[in-house]
Amino acid sequence: MKKFKLGLLTLGVLTLASCNLTNANVNPSSSNSTPSSSESSQSSSSSSSSSTTEATYELDLSSKDYNLEKEFFYDDYNTRSLADETRQGIKTFETKDDIVFDAVTYEELVSIFESEGNYLILFGGSWCHNTRAAVPFINQFANEYDIDTVYNFDFYVDGTNSSSHVRNTNQTDPTRVTPGVEYNYLYGELATRYLTNLNDYVEYTQGSTSSLTYTNNENAEVNVPKLQVPFLFLYNKDNTVDNKSGGGTSNAKGTFPIVYGFEEMIDLD
């Protein structure tokens, strides 16, 4: 995700450089600054020569038919699915046109959790064959019910390296080092602050043998439920409806932010 954002930024810089644009050539709607009178005069006097440049600028940077997320998911999931001949060996997506997934960073995920409204979110990544098996059906469901975006967050925060996997518990054995465990507070804080009724939807509940313990910023150990991927859920931070028929776990505000959650959508192996 970050790679693609950087690529888009680089494309913009290269395009601007190749067009040799000045401030007078840039559409004012894309800038918060107001041009000075001299700049306005310069722009006016060169309007005939700059109009073509402006059109080229818009054309180069504003291809409305190109969706970077669709390209990313189509290539990433299909590459891994085809390479895993033992368990799959077929494409995850047949076409990129109807892909609804939008990969988000940790910061973007937190922003979603703090925003009003309903959000459909999938935890999991292309490295997981169970997630690869589930996403075509989630994508089909979303299209059938006119859901235009399913936000996707991967606990491998760089997408590949095990040292960046943030869903591992603290180790009690000092001789054993689990890659990524020093970052598990990132997962722990999500469960503690935002996914406060996660217990209602996962197998590894708080306090169970396979739950997760992390160390918070006060150097205290905190135990939270540990979800398994793929995990699909509907999120609304202000939801007050207990969809567990009175058996749900509300937080201090009396809300149930996970409106519905689905952990074992397929037979895990």
Query: What pTM was estimated for this model as a whole?
Result: 0.73
Give the angle 200-250-223 at the CA atoms, nearest 5°: 60
> How far is residue 28's CA from residue 84's CA, in Å, rounded to a whole number?
50
Residue ranges of the chain with per-residue pLDDT less than 50: 1-64, 268
CA pseudo-torsion sign 184, 187, 188, 189: positive
CB atoms within 10 A of CB 132: 25
What pLDDT, on the 0 to 100 scale, is given for residue 49? 45
pLDDT digits (tens, 9 = 90+) for 151-174: 999 999 876 667 788 999 998 887
Q: What is the DSSP letter of 11?
A: H
What pLDDT, on the 0 to 100 scale, is given for residue 180? 81
Do residues 102 and 73 lie in contact, with contact meaning Cβ atoms separated by under 8 Å? Answer: no
Exposure string over 93-126, b if 16+ CB within 10 A, otherwise e: beeeeebbbbbbebeebbebbeeeeebbbbbbbb
Do residues 42 and 88 lie in contact, with contact meaning Cβ atoms separated by under 8 Å? Answer: no
